[in-house]
Amino acid sequence: MKFFIDRYAKHKVEENPLYLVVLSDIMTNLMLFFLILYVFNIQPENKAAETFMSGFDKEAAQKEKEKKAEEVLNKFNEQDVALKLAEELLKAGMKDMAEVQLTDKQIKINIAAPVLFGSGKADLGRTSSEVIGPVAAVLNKLPNDIIVEGHTDNVPIKSGDFATNWELSAARANAVVNLLAARYAVPQERMIAAAYGEHRPVASNDTPRGRAQNRRIEIIVSRK
């Protein structure tokens, strides 16, 4: 009788062996290891590494989010500036002599050369401020880099201060850069003067209309 009482009335609980605890830790670590390998396998290496590390560096992840948000705001700001610039040129009566083009990479202001310069000359005319002034006011609202390009038609220069169209385009680009810096306080370190002469036409040089389109100053604002 005592045998049955001892067997059924008293429940004995055995503790798990120590090796099972160690084994469970090993299995957990292996599972995490293979999970990481799986993440790296299904994503591009750079993206996977970035994702993996961001889990350990919350500060870096937050900075990355703030950087992307700032880029989006800059894009909207650049669009607003381009629209404002077009409005200012329209108010100045320069609709047919200057235009603004907005792309994913740049804001381009195309100004017909006769608005700024006399034929074969690189001295800015008295009316040039009517165009350059509104442009400079808008450029100063952005921190972006600026390239001022000089372009001409392909008609050879026969007299004047310049031997080639390239020299003429270079002098004109420099004149615009100097005016933007000296009169309108556009920082010099943001600007580059470039000369292309007749080598980058936007229209055919076989017609008077085409040659007129090719004689131009382009002010290009890079979009960050």
Please, what sign has the CA dihedral across residues 130, 115, 152, 213? positive
Q: How many angstroms separate the CA atoms of 125 and 109, rounded?
A: 19
Q: What pLDDT was estimated at residue 24?
A: 72
Consecutive sets of 10 residues in the chain, 224 residues long: mean pLDDT of each? 51 56 72 72 60 60 55 59 74 72 87 90 88 88 92 90 95 97 95 96 95 94 81
Q: Which CATH number fits domain 69-222: 3.30.450.40, 3.30.1330.60, 3.90.550.10, 3.40.50.720?
A: 3.30.1330.60
CB-based contact 183:172 (threshold 8 Å):
no
Q: Output the six-digit token pair for 118.
A: 């006399």
Q: For position 72, what pLDDT does the model report?
A: 46
What are the boundaries of each domain within the chain?
A: 14-56, 69-222
Question: Which residues have a Cβ under 8 Å from the Cβ of 73 and sit 6 or more positions away?
Answer: none
